[in-house]
Amino acid sequence: MNARVVVLALVSLSLPAQVSFDRILNATNEPQNWLTYSGTTMSQRHSPLTQITPQNVKNLEMQWVYQARSLEKFEATPLVVDGVMYTVQAPNDVMALDAVTGRLFWTYSYTPAPEARPCCGRVNRGLAILGDTLYMGTIDAHLLAIDAKNGKPLWNVQVARPEAGYALTHAPLVVKDKVIVGTAGGEFGIRGYIAAYDAKTGKEAWRFYTVPGPGEPGHETWQNDAWKTGGGSVWVTGSYDPNLNLTYWGIGNPGPDWNGDPRPGDNLYTDSVVALDADTGKLKWYYQFSPHDEFDYDSVQVPVLADMDWQGRPRKVMMWANRNGLMYVLDRTTGQFLMGKPFVKVNWMDGFDEKGRPKRVPGKTPSAEGTQIFPGNQGGTNWYSPSYSARTGLFYIPSWVEYDSTYFKIPAEYKEGERYTAGAPRSLIGGSNAPAAPLTRLEQEGYGAVRAMDPKTGTMKWEFKMADVTDAGILTTDSDLLFTGGRDGYFFALDARNGELLWKVSIGGRAQNGPMTYSVNGKQYIAFAAGNSLFSYALK
Amino acid sequence: MRAVLGFFWLVTIMAAQHSYTPADVENGARLYRGNCVNCHGPDGDFIPGVDFSHGKFIRAVSDDDVAHVIINGVPGAGMPAHNFSQAQAELVVAYLRSLATTASHYSGPAGDKARGQALVAGKGQCLSCHRINGDGSRVGPDLSDVGSYRRAGEVEESLVDPDASIAPENRYFRIVMKNGTTFTGKLLNQDTFTMQFINSKEQLVSLQKSDIRESAFVSKSPMPSYKDKLNTQERADVVSYLISLKGGE
């Protein structure tokens, strides 16, 4: 080693580690870190870390707890960069923590405008990082850049108007030199969009409206002025394929939610996945899961990207566990529908046409007297991250089984800033912000489960049942472990191959974020939130 | 002193109840449909523990309380804050109060509350399972505030046909443990790995599901039908007494 190399090595050790986009793209090369919401831009929420195994997972013990100074749901997935954890305490406090001890380096508290009133909780699902800058969307629809070293705000742009019901709740996605976010607010008659901002300056680079305006392709699926209040919210982070340079985003429900009468037509691109050119925001393709939705079946799930053999040849696919109760496999190059099958009981459709359009069942529509629909309003799954393990070849879905709602249709008029839902779903099981109550339901009245699906056949390989439903995402690892939790206050590890319970801990609050894993100084940690706290576990 | 304080408390509450016009109710209904209906439902009974059509709230008592909750929400309990003015919140209250004055579906004869109370404690043997204001068993549902969430017609139906509608929180289970022990009890709570009961001896019991051989919901209510045990007038008396029970004693 010559002197110059030694000097360079010393310099690189002393310099702060910058999170280049190249590092994010190759995140599997540094599994000790968690650099983007779903682990990688392919969004499999699967880690190569193997220190914790099916044999030793029983030796996990708590390393630290961070108890939030907030009673809101803790839904953020943390990032970890070289021993520092970055996450969000709801609604919009950014925190840098020592990933080993849970002690704070700094916090930055953003106070949202009082007009910010997200439908379903003052929540935030996490951050993005690029270089030494963190990015957070706020519930009053601002996008903030924050210095990762000291928590100082660098820029702050208003993305949309909170007084009209817009909010940002998901973790932004960094692609190259841009930060991409979408607007929530599907219960307020918004017109949603996805927008990319220059990571350095906050200047808007492109915008894609999820409800096309006059003259734009897809506008013909709307009539009258319904497009102006058509919904199409975005509230879960998308994915990115660097080879295709496409970024994929799931789009939320049309407005009003439960009464389709004011909005005849398919209502594109609500309840769809859109594939956008990451440089320009131009639409490359779309697939609509639930045309003319009347059941609040937001398609905001994480697009899970994988390359696999499909019917004898390699194919770039996208797996999608949809709130509407069906799991899909699409060709992510073209958007071609390859497969769609129910993973829970479904009664609103009974098959597909040759192009993959679902066939609606006559009469299964909200009504004045109420109509029973499977799955119910919270869906067969929802925003909680699924996981895919290439080792097992299984797609793991946090599922609500035997779950229904009775949908009532009510007339409604649009008024800016007020809810525009035009109906009400009734169910024995409440949404994630329902008050905690004793659990006295019977299994046939609905339960939660991890369902392990074979994406090549759409068949279930195994199921792990929970007494209550689940709002928790799923993490898998290269040691064939699966980590998740449930609403009844347990966090646990399963054998990803067969669903056998290997370890559990009662953590006394609803698990309701996506678990993640990281490593510091050779020690692997599992981090997850439950109730109002963030936990980190490692081997004894 | 307590009586004096109680008097002032009562006056304060009464002063806090407002009177509303039909237009207030109509405007409140519009706000309700736009902002409240998808969580609370058309009849206001979708959230456990809350039933606007029966005037049942978790915390709020006076109209001002209700308006305060509407504007500020209940942090951590799922009720969001709303960007309403005080006047708008009061319109919603007007509508909620109008829901609660909906006519009862009871078609039986008028009852006598005092006779009903005597029947509940005596001939009906109701307190062998139920509890009212501190008397009786804890195994059945406590009826101390049954009048705040059940209408006369619903109470009459439960007396005649107890199996017609059993609330999930009143479910009885028969449990057989792996060691052969058997018992019945009301399910209070459960999770993926454990179950919590109150058994017929009023003991609180928590069990590991892995220790249970079988457990089954007893779909037939342990309560007998009073269709033949009490005559029509006696049942009317019991109904009259029970719907007078609003809690708070």
Global pTM? 0.89
Structural domains for chain B: 2-100 (1.10.760.10), 113-165+223-243 (1.10.760.10), 168-217 (2.30.30.100)
Looking at every residue in chain B, the average pLDDT score rounds to 84
Q: Residue B46 is nearest to which of A426, A440, A489, comparing CB atoms? A: A426
Is residue B168 less than 8 Å (CB to CB) from chain A? yes
Contact list in B for residue A466 (CB cut-off 8 A) is 192
Chain B residues with CB-CB distance to A423 below 8 A: 37-38
Asked if residue B6 has pLDDT above 60, the reply is: no
User: Are A412 and B34 a contacting pair at CB < 8 A?
Assistant: yes
Please give, one letter per residue, the 3-state secondary structure of A119-170: CCCCCCCECEEEECEEEEECCCCEEEEEECCCCCEEEEEECCCHHHCCECCC
Q: A436-453 pLDDT, tens per residue?
A: 788 999 899 999 999 999
- The dihedral through the CA atoms of A99, A102, A107, A112 has a sign that is positive
Q: Does the pLDDT value for residue A168 go beyond 80?
A: yes
Instruction: Find the residue in B nearest to A425 (Cα).
Output: B38
Q: What digits encode the pLDDT tens for the residues A18-33? A: 999 999 999 999 999 9
Q: Is A271 a catalytic residue?
A: no
- β-bridge partners, A535: A65, A528
Categorize the per-residue pLDDT at B248 as very low, low, confident or very high, splitting at 50, 70 and 90: low
Q: What percent of chain A clears pLDDT 90, i.e. is strictly above it?
A: 90
Judged by average pLDDT, the poorest of A198-212, A398-412, B25-39 is B25-39
Counting other chains too, the contacts that A205-214 makes at CB distance below 8 Å and 24 or more residues apart are A205/A178, A205/A281, A206/A280, A206/A281, A207/A281, A208/A274, A208/A276, A208/A281, A208/A282, A208/A283, A210/A182, A210/A234, A210/A251, A210/A252, A210/A269, A210/A270, A210/A274, A211/A267, A211/A268, A211/A269, A211/A270, A212/A268, A212/A269
**Digit-coded pLDDT (tens) for A219-269:** 999 999 999 999 999 999 999 999 999 999 999 999 999 999 999 999 999
DSSP A367: B
* CA A34 to centroid of chain Cα atoms: 16
Tens digits of residue pLDDT in B104-150 = 567 778 899 999 999 999 999 999 999 999 999 998 899 998 887 77
Mean of the pLDDT values across residues B11-38? 73
Reported confidence tier of residue B10, pLDDT bands at 50, 70, 90: very low
Strand partners, B74: B79
pLDDT of residue B13 exceeding 60: no
Q: Which residue has the higher pLDDT, A103 or B100?
A: A103
Question: Given an 8 Å threshold on Cβ–Cβ distance, is A490 in contact with B192?
Answer: yes
3-state DSSP percent of chain A in helix, strand and coil, to 5: 5, 40, 55
Separation CA A525–CA A537 (nearest Å): 5
CB A379 within 8 A of CB A321: no
Model confidence band, residue B83 (pLDDT cutoffs 50, 70, 90): confident
Query: How would residue A484 be classed by pLDDT, with cut points 50, 70 and 90?
Result: very high
The pLDDT value recorded for residue A459 is: 98
Mean per-residue pLDDT over chain A, rounded: 95
How much is the average pLDDT of A454-477?
97
Measured in angstroms, the CA of A378 and the nearest CA of chain B are apart by 12
- Residue in B33, B188, B196 closest to A410 by CB: B33
- Domains present along chain A, CATH in parentheses: 17-427+443-539 (2.140.10.10)
Per the CB < 8 A criterion, the answer to whether B230 and B240 are in contact is: no
Inform me whether the pLDDT recorded for A473 exceeds 90. yes
Q: What is the pLDDT of residue B14?
A: 40
What does the pLDDT read at residue A2? 52
In chain A, what residues touch B42 (CB-CB under 8 Å)? 408, 410, 424
pLDDT tens string B234-246? 999 999 999 889 8
Q: Do B38 and A187 touch (CB under 8 A)?
A: yes
Residue A57 tokens, joined: 């997972």
pLDDT of residue B11: 39
List A93, A257, A296, A471, catalytic entry: A296
Give the pLDDT of residue B5.
41
Is the pLDDT score of A1 beyond 50? no
Interface contact flag, A71 B187, Cβ < 8 Å = no
Instruction: Please identify among residues 176-205 of chain B the ones whose CB lies closer than 8 Å to any CB of chain A.
Output: 187-193, 196
Q: Residue A76: which of A131, A122, A110 has the closest Cα?
A: A122
Contacts of A139 (CB under 8 A, 6+ apart): A91, A92, A112, A116, A118, A122, A123, A124, A162, A167, A168, A169
Cα distance from A420 to chain B (closest Cα, Å)?
6
Q: With a cut of 90, say whether residue B58 has pLDDT above it.
A: no
pLDDT in tens, A238-249: 999 999 999 999
Query: Which pLDDT tens digit goes with each residue over A326-376?
Result: 999 999 999 999 999 999 999 999 999 999 999 999 999 999 889 999 999
Mean pLDDT of the region A199-215: 98
Identify the residue with better confidence: B34 or A56: A56
